[in-house]
Amino acid sequence: MFRHTIIIMPHSRMSNVCYFLLLNLVIFQFGGVVSASQVHCFFIFGDSLVDNGNNNYLDTTAKVNYLPYGIDFPAGPTGRFTNGRNTADFLAELLELDKPLPPYADATDWDKLNGVNYGSGGAGILDESGKQFGDVLTLSEQLSNHEAVITRLSELLGSRKLTLQHLSNCTYYVAMGNNDYLGNYLPKYYASTSNYTPKQFASLAIAQYSKHLLRLYMNGGRKVAVNGLGKLGCIPQQIAMYPVSASTGCVETSNAAVDIFNEKLKTLIKTLNLLPDARFLYISEITDNPSYGNITVVEKPCCEVSAEVMGHCVEGSTPCSNRDEFYFWDSFHPTEAALSLSSKIIYDTMAPLLQTAPTPLISVS
């Protein structure tokens, strides 16, 4: 016996009937059931802060499917760039999903109906960002993977129109740009951007970001949370490489460059919201008075970092035992404890895009 309860945001009576019948036919065919969630369906685009295994299949040094990564995760090393759960995992829990979104590389047809995680460690807004790591899935490539999902869903639902109707009810989380600074502009990896002023580089990145987010909109994305960048000048990698401020202990020139990007991103979000039915939302986990809970160590990583794979934990090394007291796991990525705090801020800020009552999602019994 299967329970079929589908919430549909109507466009027209006829399309609703078709959508309902076809979606329930798909449910019956594959043996699906319905579970409650605060989103109709959920898709994630991003970098190593959300990657949960996509890079495992790539020829890249931006890959962490080894200990001590995953030391506190039930399944052990899975490709998450931290000791336990990452931002994608915490958002899934807060949104009351039955399980974390699967990486796109492992997604089934059922997953594609409910949502997948396209995130790829090292990826950026610009195609060249992070390429020094080898293969990474840039935002452009992640969007291409999403279009492949749309093609498959169109086969399942019978038409692209009904698929886009389904996807217009989904919620999207996009968090990109870290590697455009950390893996491109700030270390001056590429001659093509090394001579840009911070304002010029931010304009370049935002212009490309605008194209990507418009592409997502054209493929059905209507409720889209876009994460701004954090204080990148405060991460251990930056502190180790550049002069720090005596008052903050951070590289304030890097933070200033990121601030320019964030301000331009806020303007872009306002512009995108002029599109019909668009509900783009700027997200920031930076607060004026941050609460770090039990975290007391904020300037150095918990694990021993590698000189060969810059900033990553040495494979097989023993990390600090008091991980809940560290903000950073390696030279770039926060610990599970830190990510739990920032994810709660992200979730709270996403409230305008969420359902006031739980929305059923389809799952396999």
Dig out the tokens for 109 from the structure.
């047809």
Peptide bond into 68 cis (omega under 30): yes
Dig out the tokens for 363 from the structure.
């799952």
3-state DSSP call for residue 134? strand
3-state DSSP call for residue 253? helix
* Residue 4 is a catalytic residue: no
Give the list of residues 6+ apart from residue 79 with CB closer than 8 angstroms, or none: 51, 52, 53, 54, 55, 56, 63, 64, 65, 69, 103, 121
Write down the catalytic residue from 37, 324, 330, 340: 330
* Residue 333 is a catalytic residue: yes
Exposure of 259 by Cβ count < 10 A (0-12 exposed, 13-18 middle, 19+ buried)?
A: middle
3-state DSSP call for residue 44? strand
Tell me how far CA of residue 168 lies from CA of 39, 171, 216, 224, in angstroms.
12, 8, 10, 10
8 A C-beta contact, residue 69 and residue 82: yes
Write down the catalytic residue from 324, 333, 342, 363: 333
3-state DSSP call for residue 172? strand
8 A C-beta contact, residue 191 and residue 60: no
Instruction: Please report, as a single letter, which amino acid is at residue 293.
Output: G
* Residue 330 is a catalytic residue: yes
- Vertex 195 angle, CA 194 and 197, to 5°: 105
Write down the catalytic residue from 37, 40, 47, 48: 48
Q: Which residues are catalytic?
A: 48, 330, 333
